[in-house]
Amino acid sequence: MDAAIRTASAMPVQEMGTETDTRDYLAHARTHARKAGYADWTIVDIDAHHVETVHWHEIIDYIEDPVLRHQATMYQKERIGAPPYGLNGDLGLRYQDVGGRIPHQSSRREKVDEPGVHLDVALTRRAMDALCVDYMVLFPTPMLFIGMHPQVEMEAVLSNAYNRWLAENVLSAEDGILSLAVLPFNSPDAACRTVEEFGANPNVIGFTVTSTRYKPVHSNEYMRLYRMIEETGKPIAFHAGYHWQDPSLATCNSFLGMHALGFVWCNLVHMTNWILNGIPERFPKLNSLWVESGLSWVPFLMQRLDDQYLMRQSEAPLLTKMPSDYMRESCFYTCQPLEKSSEVGLKATLEMINAETQLLYASDWPHFDFDAPRAIYDIPFLTEDQKRNILGRNAARLFNLPKKDSARKAA
Amino acid sequence: METVRVGSVEEFAPLPARKVVEIGGEEVGVFRLDDGFYAWRNNCPHQGGPVCQGRIYNRVLETLDAGRRSLGRRYDEERVNIVCPWHGLEYDIRTGRHPGNDGMALEPVAVQVQNGEVYVSL
């Protein structure tokens, strides 16, 4: 072989793991962003996550009730081998990382040496820079199950503590990090207090119902809450989750099957009740946002409800048009995890939901089924204008987000 | 097409071994298994993830008995997969193919060994 042959440079990271820096992990996304010229695009990521339980010892300080706060402090300080104080959920059944195959889902133990900067702020900024997004909405992770808490009042206690901790320690540090405050939905009065407390906070751009719960969203007890949210001009979001103990899902023996169904099932039920009980008719200015169920369930439900509605209109008398019309006009959707194995199916889906105005980009970073912006950018049948709408303009419109200086994105 | 040295054969140990390199802006993963060397572009066909920088797992199989009852899962001792760290898609290091979808495959890179040195051409 010719002695003049050059030697290739070894990549600095040979195998990615839980200690890999987010910027290395997402370097390919950053490269794509440069090639695509995202510096002058507005990109809004409506659904990313942090692991709030890493900072549970901080969050419990925000528990209002002095007795519970003391209990929590003692528990966190002295109890060995226990999950975070007061938190429900199947904490040992988190198989999202497929047995270690997807390390960023397991944990992010990367080195962060930024004195005075909260860890979650530093990690979120790294992800924002790598994905080239202007705004990133942070959701909790284990707390997505809090709607199944056996103590109804604890949902409110912990949600309030989390919302306050997040606002004071994370949202206040970076105007690009946003939140949809977690509503203690099983306690409607407490949920109303959440709207009162955060309605005027510019970094709280809406309110979240964690969808994993057995509550009828059309119950009269929620009408005051919906009125209050409508008056803020901010949307209500239904963030999907799973519940493996659900009797049907308990027949699934794999996380694959349970997760594929579970993250859709809860929103299928809530959307059905939302539409058939005419919530969009009662609160015409209240926008709803359906998060992390993917999209393929929407055309299914549109067709299913339309078909049945025509035969049984008397059971949904508040409706003045077809269920699919409401789902297309007053409902917004996040794209992730975008089902893209069939181009025919995807095209029909995007047309049926009127993606050009109703679809919002979401990464779900750092979870195993996250979508980088190229999940939208690479869709072959979309125009650049449609891609720009989905990746950012629709969200900027829905949430009244100002255009940001793109200097950091261009760096 | 340019041929570039990746390293010496001895660097690729213990097995399975891998070296991910950058060549003029192109990233390539070179793997050594017990029967030779294989090289693939570091680009997952799923979403462009850095597939060659993922973890290495043996393929998982499920064993059935004569009555078609499941006896559970086990690792295949022969077939070795590289797992994309972004989303977990697995590819056979020898064939580059996804074990559950023949149409999904990594892009190959020519690799050769001469005088104890490993070269790729692209």
Indicate whether A410 pLDDT > 70: no
Burial A240-265 (b: 16+ CB within 10 A, else e): bbbbeebeebeebeebeebbbbbbbb
The reply to whether A6 falls in a domain is no
Q: pLDDT-based confidence at A90, cuts 50/70/90?
A: confident
Q: pLDDT-based confidence at A3, cuts 50/70/90?
A: low
| CB-CB under 8 Å, A14 with B21 | no
Question: How many whole angstroms separate alpha carbon B108 and alpha carbon A62?
Answer: 55
Per-residue model confidence as pLDDT tens digits over A40-65: 999 999 999 999 999 999 999 999 99
Determine the average pLDDT of the residues in A96-112: 94
Nearest Cα of chain B lies from the Cα of A263 at a distance, in angstroms, of 17
**Measured CA distances, A345 to A298, A351, A357, B4, B48 (Å):** 12, 10, 19, 43, 22
| CB-CB under 8 Å, A9 with B21 | yes
Per-residue model confidence as pLDDT tens digits over A353-371: 999 999 999 999 999 999 9
The reply to whether A293 falls in a domain is yes
Give A99's contacts (C-beta < 8 A, 6+ positions apart).
B57
Specify which residues B27 forms β-bridges with.
Answer: B22
Q: pLDDT-based confidence at A104, cuts 50/70/90?
A: very high
The reply to whether A151 falls in a domain is yes
Share of chain A above pLDDT 90, in %: 93
CATH code for the domain in which residue A62 is found: 3.20.20.140
Q: How many domains does chain B have?
A: 1
| CB-CB under 8 Å, B5 with A5 | yes
Segment holding A273, helix H or strand E = helix A255-276
The reply to whether A16 falls in a domain is no
Indicate whether A404 pLDDT > 90: no
Determine the average pLDDT of the residues in B22-48: 97
Per-residue model confidence as pLDDT tens digits over A143-194: 999 999 999 999 999 999 999 999 999 999 988 999 999 999 999 999 999 9
The reply to whether A17 falls in a domain is no
The reply to whether A166 falls in a domain is yes
Question: Average per-residue pLDDT in chain A?
Answer: 96
Question: Average per-residue pLDDT in chain B?
Answer: 97
Domain enclosing residue B36, as ranges: 3-121
Q: Among all residues of chain A, which has the CA nearest to that of B86?
A: A102
In a 13 Å sphere around the CA of A129, the CA atoms on its Cβ side amount to 17
User: Chain B interface residues facing chain A, Cβ-Cβ under 8 Å?
Assistant: 3-7, 18-23, 27-28, 42-43, 47-50, 53-55, 57, 83, 85-88, 90, 114-115, 117, 119-120
Q: Among all residues of chain B, which has the CA nearest to that of A6?
A: B4
CATH code for the domain in which residue B12 is found: 2.102.10.10
- Mutation target vs B (from A6, A21, A25, A28; most B CBs, 10 A cutoff): A28
| CB-CB under 8 Å, A374 with B117 | no
Give A346's contacts (C-beta < 8 A, 6+ positions apart).
A295, A338, A339, A340, A379
Residue A407 has a pLDDT of: 66
| B81 SS3 class | strand
Domain enclosing residue A396, as ranges: 22-410
Q: Where are the beta strands (DSSP E) in A150-304?
A: 177-182, 204-210, 236-239, 288-291
| CB-CB under 8 Å, A103 with B55 | yes
The reply to whether A265 falls in a domain is yes
Q: pLDDT-based confidence at B56, cuts 50/70/90?
A: very high
Cβ contacts of B111-117, under 8 Å, gap ≥ 24: B111/B6, B111/B30, B111/B37, B111/B38, B111/B39, B112/B37, B113/B9, B113/B37, B114/A1, B115/A1, B116/B8, B116/B9, B116/B10, B117/A1, B117/B5, B117/B7, B117/B8, B117/B9
Q: How many domains does chain A have?
A: 1
The reply to whether A98 falls in a domain is yes
